[in-house]
Every structure is written in C-alpha cells, then in structure tokens.
A and B are shown apart, each in its own frame.
Chain A
Amino acid sequence: MNAPGLPKSFERDRSELPNPLPRPEGEFEGLKKAWEPPKGISFITAVNNTYVGLWYVGTAFLFFILAGILALIMRAQLASPESDLVGHDLYNQLFTMHGTVMMFLFAVPAVEAASVYLLPNMQAARDLPFPRLSAYAFWAYFVGGLVFFCTIFFGLAPNGGWFMYPPLTSTKYSPADNADWWLLGIGFIEISAIAGAIEIIVGVMKTRAVGMSLDKLPVYSWAMLVFAAMIVIGFPAIILGTLLLELERAFDWPFFIAERGGDPLLWQHLFWFFGHPEVYIIFLPATGMVSMIVPAMAQTPLVGYRLVVLALIATGFLSFGLWVHHMFATGLPKMSLSFFSAASTAVAVPSGIQVFAWIATIASGRMKLTTPSLFVIGFLFIFTLGGLTGVMVAMAPFDWQAHDSYFVVAHLHYVLIGGMVFPLFAAFYYWVPVASKRALSERLGRWVFGLMFLGVNVTFLPMHITGLIGMPRRVYTYPVGMGWDALNLVSTVGAFMIAIGVAIFLVDMARNFRFAGEDNAGNVWNAGTLEWLPNGNYATRSIPSVNSREPLWDQPDLAKNVEDGRYYLPGTATGGREALVTSPFDARPQYILQIPGPGWQPVLSAVFTAAFFLLLTVKLIFLSVICGVLAVGCVIWWLWETDPGPVRPPADIGGGVVVPVYVTGPMNHSWWAMIVLMIVSGMVFTCLIFSYLFLWLVNPMAWPPQETVLPSVAWPLAAAFLYVVSAALILWASRVLKGDDRRAPRSVPILIGVALVLVSGASAVDLWAQWRSGLSPSAHAYGAAVYAILSLQIFFVLTTLVMGLYTIARWVAGRLDSVRRTTFDNTMLFWIYTTGQGLVGLLVVYGFPRLGGGV
C-alpha cells in the first residue's frame, strides 16, 4: 500500500538517510530554542514531557511514602494486643486513607506518570500530542491530592474503607464531611486520570518514529494503550458512582436507600466494574515495563512478542468480566458465581503467557543480575504467590471463609506489591540513566531489594495464617490470648524492614539523581529501544526511521546519525515546537503537529478546578462556583492559542517527504482525542442507564411508583425534534464551511447560534415536562434516576453551549475558516454526541415505564 503523496524513494530505499550533512547553520540552535523550558518562577509552567513526567512520578512516589507512613502507624498499633497508640476512629481513617491513597493517588498516577516520561522517548516523539493536557492533569492531581491527604490531620479523612460501601457511607451513618472528601476528591482525580488516558491513546497511535509500525511497537506502548483503553471504559463507572452517592448525600436523591426504592448493591456494581479491572489497570503497565527490562538484561529480544501482545489485549477484555466476583458474599445466584470463577481463571491464562515469555527470554539469553533484574525476579516470585492465593479466593466456598479476614489483606498486598511496586522499582533502577546524569548505585540497590523482598514476605506471609485462624481485617486492636500476638509482631517487624529499604532508595536517589538536560548517563545497559538514543529537551535531534523492534541493536550507527540530524525533521519547520504525526498502523509521516509551549493556562485551570471541587466539599458553594467559572475561563484562554491553522506551506522533513503543517478531519490528532472523549461520555451514560435498569429490577410493581403521572408523549417528541434539527443545522454549517479557499461564510455563526437555541430548548422542554408532572427526585429512586439522566443531559447541553459560543467567537476573531476548522470539527463531534445521548435518554425515560407498564 503506497501512502498518497510519498515519493517512491521513501518506499524503495530505507537505508539511504533522509538528510545530508553538513546541516545548515542555526538549524540545531533553532530546535533547542523552541524547546527550551521557561526560567525562574515560570519554570512551573513548563510542559515538556520530561519535566512534567518527572514531577508527576515524584509526586506519585511522595504519596507512596505518605501512605506507607500511615501503614507503619497501623502496624505499630497492631504490634501488640490491646495497644492504645491510636484509637478506633483514627484507625478507621488510617486504613481508609492508606488504601485510597495507595490505589488512587499512588498506583494509577505512578504508572501514568511514568508513561508521560517514557512513551515519547521510547517512540522517539518530540513530546506527547497534548503537552498542556498532561500538565493540567499533573497539576490538578498535585493540588487535589495533597489537600485530600491533609484531611487526615484534621480528623476529616474518610473512614468508610477504600471501597466506601453505602449504606455505611450514606448520610444516615456518616453525617460528617469525611465521606464527601472521598467522593469529590477521588471523583476529581479520576478525571485527571482520564485526561492522561486520552493523551496516551493518541500518543501511542499517532506520534511514533517513522516506520515503527504496529508490529514493531514496543511492548510497553502496547501495555499503555490497553491500560488507557481500560481507563476509558472502566473509570466512568466509578465517576458515575461517586456522582450518584454525592447526589444522594447532598440533595437526598435516594439511589442507595432501600426504604425509598434504592439499593446499596448498585454501588457495589458500579464500584467493582471499575475496581476489579483496576487491579489489571495497575498491573498491565508494570508488565509492560518488565517486558522492556527483561530483554535488555538478557541482551536478547523478547520471546513471543505476538503472544505477549495477545495476552495484554485479552487481559484488557477479560478483566471486566470479573466485576461481580467481589460480591460473592452478597448472595447472587449460583450460576453467576460460576461465571465469575470462570472469568477469574480465564484471566489467569494471559498472565501466565507473559510469565512464560519472560522466563523463556531469560533462558534464551544471559541474564545479568543487576538491581533491575533482581526486582524483576522478586516481582515474579511475589506476584505468583499472590496469584495462587488469588485462585483460592476465587473459589466461591473458600471466599466465604476468608472474606474480610487478614487472608484477604495478605493476598491483596502480594498482588499489588508484587505486581506493581516491584516492577516500579525495577523501572526506577533501569530508566534513571535516561533522566539523570548518573545511574543509581548497584550496591545500594541490592540492599534496597534485599530489605524490601524480605520485608514483604516477613510482613505478609504470616498474615495468611493470622487470617485463617480468624483475625478479621479493619480491626484497630485485638485481645490477648487469641494466638495472634506473635504473628502480628512479626508482621510489624517486616513492615519496618520495607520502610528501611525504601529509605535507602531515597538516599540513593539523593546521592545519584541529577537531572540531565543533554548529558544523561547514556545507554548503560546496552538496551535496544529508542529511549536510549542521545536526547535533550527537544527529545532526539532528528526523528529516526526504524526497521526492527530493537533498532539500537539492529541499525548500527543509528544513535550517531540521529544525533547528527541525518534523519527526519532535524530542525523546526514552523519555528515553534513540533511533533511528527505518523499514521496509526504503518507509522508513515502524515503531518507536522504544532505543539503549544509553556503557559500559565494549564497550571491555573488545574488549580481552579481543584479549588472548585475542594470548596464544594466544605460547602462553600459561592466560592466554589467562582473557582469553577475561573477554571472554565482559563481553559478557554488556553484553547484560544491552539488550532493555529496552516502557518506555512507543507514542509520537507527530509528524504523528499513533504508534509503539511496543519490538517483537519479524521487524520487530525484532536479529532482522535474527541472520539475518545465521546467514548468516555458514552460509558458514563451507559452506566447511568444500567443504574436505571438495575433500580427498575429491584422495584417490582413500583416503576414508576403508583402515584406518578407520566408526562404526555408530546413532550419527548417535541424535545427530540429540537435535538435533531439542531444537529442538522450543525451538519449544514459544516457543509457550508468546506473548501480550500479559506472562506468564512457569515451563515456559519448564524447556523450555530440557532442550533444553540434549539438544543437548549430541547433540554428545557424535557426538564419542564418532568417538573410540571410533579415528579420529585427525592421521594423515590425512580424520580432520582429520571432526574439523574436529565441532569447529565443538561450538563452536556451546557457544555455544548460553551463550545458553540466559543466557536462563534473564533469566527468573529477571524480564527475560523474553511481550512482552519479544527475548532468547528470538535464542536460538531460533541454536538452530535449530545444529540444522540439526548435521544436515547428521552427514549428510556419516557418509553421504558410505558413499555414495562410498572411490572
């Protein structure tokens, strides 16, 4: 398949280098200047993935340490029976915070952060496609996470356990703000995780080295792609769950209150639809790292590349089958139980495939016993043990025995520490030479490994027994004479061994980590992948063309030629920051993406977004709304500078390859991001419809409840008509806005304006119809569900409104025409989505009760 517009020479002869020597004067300086990070206080506005990535990893690690300290306090309390170091209430806050912080503020952000740093380097991209979006995700997480953590110092920390089951967390049993902190804090941090996932998907698919086709994609990129897809599918469930629970707590909409038709089980479904995949969401990136480290240490390519990719994809799918698995003790039909036992064993198969691939690779090469290798071996050992106890927990009868005992605590830590913490430490020791002038110390590294490995086993192995002889989890103390004393003491000693190991790691970092601009420690492991090319703030001097999975092993002189600027795009075509966008399958150059540089916008919008959520938690509604408006304002200010249009004619990037500096339509990177965002929104909506149907299921003969009057069908028909016409107007505007002649017809803003009125009218009609029927959202779960669907739709219509007005403003400012129309395209995509969601919502809300006839 010849891509259109590519000269024959590109197809024929890859061995000929695209750009000749010597390079023109000033070319390299121009490149360096474009990528220079800001100085002084503005330093925090840097958006280079290398800076943001490191801050991000550092912050995640900080949360690991903070949550670890909480764990030490708990272990100190449990070291001896009847100890009174911490009381009952504080202990509840401690384990809730430890679990929550480890899962939400450490594990997921850490792997996402590592990929912000690693992915572009590994794919020889200059940066991620939306650097400001990653900066935003980072700052939102940084501010929101720290404030959330500080609640523990004020006794405000959540205390309902890390999965926050209602009714324990409903207003009746948790009247104080603690639970709200969890709901708003975590809901918000999930949004930042989704922003990161969008970035990763578009980054993996569209910004790669030339010729890095899907069959040559590093396994790590595959793992991150599946990871991001899982976030996109799984996280909306928890976002919706937190939203519903918060609506219940704030406005008394009874989704989970059984007396008024709600059901606490709904929370468990939503939570675990996210929660079980979560374990794999954390685990997959870690396996991706291991699949990069093992070949480098064994100095031989990964055995079974295809099978490993298969395993990653299969894990991504199958792990979603596990969601009800966590509800064994809640009395679902036996058959469902068998179903979930089947799913748990099925998901073990792909994990097994990966383990065999690593062992085969180790066996076929000669493994050097470096610190990264040690951590990988530790990971294999601990994770396999965790997997075995996992199979035990997956057998339904055994689960009833072990449920809520220390056996589960032991299992969960084996899986999480083995599956994620050890690979992460392996990754630290392995990749620090890319980011730092010096590698970490091998001698200290062995101590870190030894202490952590022994510590983990000393802590958690005895817990299996403590659990089997009856000690329940989440107890702040226990009486003498239960036979639990010695085992608990051993566990506590182990916990402190881990802590010493981590402390030595920090010493090692302090002694050896020196941020490297251009003079990093280099390819110390003689690895084969592109992150080991010489690089600087601009990433690699030129963008290589690769023809294998380990180009540094197979293409001699690659590093030198890249550094000399003999590959693609050795300078800048537009004078600013750029990335080369490549086609998603074959990685052929498509166009030059003009990337925005540093700016205060992402930092400020992140701070205001965080403030909005945090102030909402403490019910300072007015201030919170101000911050919300400011956040939206900052986002608009930020977007205003994007969509630069074709600032110059297509540019020659070397080897006769001429690519445009601006494209629109389905090839465009933001079109892709928009599609992913629509999938996220669609998942939130699907989960909401699921909730509606679930509540219907648990309310026989009361759907709608007896006294409810359904609005006449005329209302939804009118609303549907308005939705459809508004979307049609937008499509019409899109047709008017076609052509290469940079026209900006006056009819475009008019059409958008009319469509805005219609779409607002549609949701107003919908709202009015329910309102005048007298339906109350707080009387019964039926009303709550209806109003939830309606509110979500209104939120989308409001967003459409902002986007529509923004698009009109672009037209007025002369920043929108038939060529420069990415802004319009994005608005159009969102509009179509909102229309679709609105129509389905109308169908369910007005159609379903008539169909079901109250059964």
Chain B
Amino acid sequence: MAGRRTLQVLVMLGGLIAWALQFTLIYGVTSTLCGRGWADKTLFGGGVVPVTILLSTLAALAIGAAMLLLSLKEYRSLQHGTASAVDTFMNQAAILISGLSLVVIIWHGVPALILPACA
C-alpha cells in the first residue's frame, strides 16, 4: 500500500524532478567547464558543453516521456475498473504534470543548445 502510493507520487512528480536534474546538470557543468577554461575539450566527437546539454536534455525528456506513458497506460486501465477518486486524481495530475514537464525541458534545453557555450 505504502509502496504503491510512493510510486504514484514519483510518477506524478517524475517529470519535474527530471527537469530539476537537467537544470542542475547543465548549469553545474557549463559553469565549471567555462569557469575553468575546459570548454574546448571534446566528448563523443562534439564540444563537451553542447554534448552534455544534448545528453541531459534527452535523458530528462526520456524520463518525462516515460512518466507520461506510464500514467497514460494507467489511465486506460483505470477506465475499466472501479478506481477510487484519489487514484483517478493522482493519475490525471500525473498526466498533466509530466506533459508540462516535457515542454519545460525542451524550453530550457533548446536555447542552451543554440547559443555558443561560455559566451
């Protein structure tokens, strides 16, 4: 019971938590690399800064999308059974929040990618 509830909360907040991680990672990595003058190093054949931004944005998107898919699946199964009002509520909140988090993650990632690093 307690475990299921924790899971529900995690799915509900997962997208936003992913955004927070993306944010911290991009901010931490760029300010460290630019501050130390290490930004011209390369990673996987690209500049280290854009590659980290790209990877963390994709990772965050993946988490957000996973939460969205999970909650949409749950939504369909709730349609059939006799779900309690709380479950329905948590599920709909999860759909809304993970949907929003996808937008926010892109919103933050794209300009960071377009702009030159360390300028």
Of B16, B19, B104, B119, which one neighbours A313 at CB under 8 angstroms?
B16
Contact indicator A335/B117 (Cβ below 8 Å): yes
Of residues 8 to 23 in A, which have CB atoms within 8 Å of B's CB atoms? none
Residues of chain A within 8 A of B93, CB atoms compared? 306, 309-310, 313
Output the least CB separation between B103 and chain A (Å): 8
Contact indicator B31/A333 (Cβ below 8 Å): yes
Output the least CB separation between B95 and chain A (Å): 10
Output the least CB separation between B119 and chain A (Å): 4
- Expressed in whole angstroms, the Cα–Cα distance for A586 and B5 within the complex equals 11
A215 and B86 contact, Cβ closer than 8 Å, known pairs A342-B108, A343-B108, A698-B35: yes
Q: Is A555 an interface residue (CB 8 A)?
A: no
Contact indicator B86/A339 (Cβ below 8 Å): no
Residues of chain B within 8 A of A474, CB atoms compared? none
Contact indicator A306/B92 (Cβ below 8 Å): yes
Q: Smallest CB-CB separation from B28: which chain A residue?
A: A693
Q: Please name 11 pairs of A and B residues whose Cβ atoms are closer than 8 Å in the assembled complex, sorted by A.
A: A214-B89, A309-B93, A313-B97, A314-B104, A321-B23, A333-B30, A334-B115, A336-B31, A342-B111, A345-B107, A585-B90
Total cross-chain contacts (CB, 8 A): 99
Contact indicator B107/A214 (Cβ below 8 Å): no
- Expressed in whole angstroms, the Cα–Cα distance for A317 and B15 within the complex equals 11
Residues of chain B within 8 A of A214, CB atoms compared? 86, 89-90
Q: Is A338 an interface residue (CB 8 A)?
A: yes
Of A215, A317, A324, which one neighbours B88 at CB under 8 angstroms?
A215
One digit per residue, 1 when the CB lies within 8 angstroms of any chain A CB and 0 when it does not, for chain B 90-119 equals 101100110010001001100110011111
Of residues 300 to 343 in A, which have CB atoms within 8 Å of B's CB atoms? 306-307, 309-310, 313-314, 317-318, 320-321, 324, 332-336, 338-339, 341-343
Q: Is A346 an interface residue (CB 8 A)?
A: yes
One digit per residue, 1 when the CB lies within 8 angstroms of any chain B CB and 0 when it does not, for chain A 445-463 equals 0000000000000000000
Q: Is A213 an interface residue (CB 8 A)?
A: yes
Residues of chain B within 8 A of A333, CB atoms compared? 30-31, 34, 117-119
Contact indicator A310/B20 (Cβ below 8 Å): no
Contact indicator B104/A318 (Cβ below 8 Å): yes
Q: Is A666 an interface residue (CB 8 A)?
A: yes
- Expressed in whole angstroms, the Cα–Cα distance for A346 and B16 within the complex equals 12
A334 and B116 contact, Cβ closer than 8 Å, known pairs A314-B97, A666-B2: yes
Residues of chain B within 8 A of A335, CB atoms compared? 30, 111-112, 115-119
Q: Is A1 an interface residue (CB 8 A)?
A: yes
Of A332, A336, A586, which one neighbours B84 at CB under 8 angstroms?
A586
Of A215, A345, A855, which one neighbours B85 at CB under 8 angstroms?
A215
Known contacts A334-B116, A335-B112, A346-B104; 14 further A-B pairs (Cβ under 8 A): A213-B85, A214-B86, A314-B97, A314-B100, A317-B20, A318-B104, A320-B20, A333-B31, A336-B31, A338-B115, A339-B112, A585-B86, A697-B32, A697-B35
Q: Is A216 an interface residue (CB 8 A)?
A: yes
- Expressed in whole angstroms, the Cα–Cα distance for A346 and B30 within the complex equals 21
Output the least CB separation between A662 and chain B (Å): 20
What is the size category of the interface that chain B forms with chain A? 35 or more
Output the least CB separation between B82 and chain A (Å): 11
Output the least CB separation between B1 and chain A (Å): 7
- Expressed in whole angstroms, the Cα–Cα distance for A314 and B36 within the complex equals 34
- Expressed in whole angstroms, the Cα–Cα distance for A346 and B110 within the complex equals 14
Of residues 346 to 368 in A, which have CB atoms within 8 Å of B's CB atoms? 346, 349
Residues of chain B within 8 A of A216, CB atoms compared? 85
Contact indicator B115/A585 (Cβ below 8 Å): no
Q: Smallest CB-CB separation from A313: which chain B residue?
A: B97
Q: Smallest CB-CB separation from A3: which chain B residue?
A: B1
Q: Is A700 an interface residue (CB 8 A)?
A: yes
- Expressed in whole angstroms, the Cα–Cα distance for A307 and B97 within the complex equals 9
Of A307, A317, A318, A585, which one neighbours B5 at CB under 8 angstroms?
A585
Residues of chain A within 8 A of B20, CB atoms compared? 317, 320-321
Output the least CB separation between A80 and chain B (Å): 46
- Expressed in whole angstroms, the Cα–Cα distance for A584 and B107 within the complex equals 34
Output the least CB separation between B13 and chain A (Å): 7
One digit per residue, 1 when the CB lies within 8 angstroms of any chain B CB and 0 when it does not, for chain A 837-855 equals 0000000000000000001
Residues of chain A within 8 A of B2, CB atoms compared? 666
- Expressed in whole angstroms, the Cα–Cα distance for A698 and B35 within the complex equals 8
- Expressed in whole angstroms, the Cα–Cα distance for A314 and B112 within the complex equals 21
A338 and B111 contact, Cβ closer than 8 Å, known pairs A306-B92, A310-B100: yes
A317 and B118 contact, Cβ closer than 8 Å, known pairs A1-B84, A333-B34: no
Q: Smallest CB-CB separation from A305: which chain B residue?
A: B89
Residues of chain A within 8 A of B116, CB atoms compared? 334-335
Of A332, A349, A855, which one neighbours B36 at CB under 8 angstroms?
A855
Output the least CB separation between A574 and chain B (Å): 27
Q: Is B60 an interface residue (CB 8 A)?
A: no
- Expressed in whole angstroms, the Cα–Cα distance for A346 and B22 within the complex equals 15
Contact indicator B1/A310 (Cβ below 8 Å): no
Q: Smallest CB-CB separation from B92: which chain A residue?
A: A306
Q: Is B63 an interface residue (CB 8 A)?
A: no
- Expressed in whole angstroms, the Cα–Cα distance for A653 and B89 within the complex equals 28
Contact indicator A586/B108 (Cβ below 8 Å): no
Residues of chain A within 8 A of B117, CB atoms compared? 333, 335
Q: Smallest CB-CB separation from A214: which chain B residue?
A: B86
A334 and B97 contact, Cβ closer than 8 Å, known pairs A213-B85, A215-B86, A342-B107: no
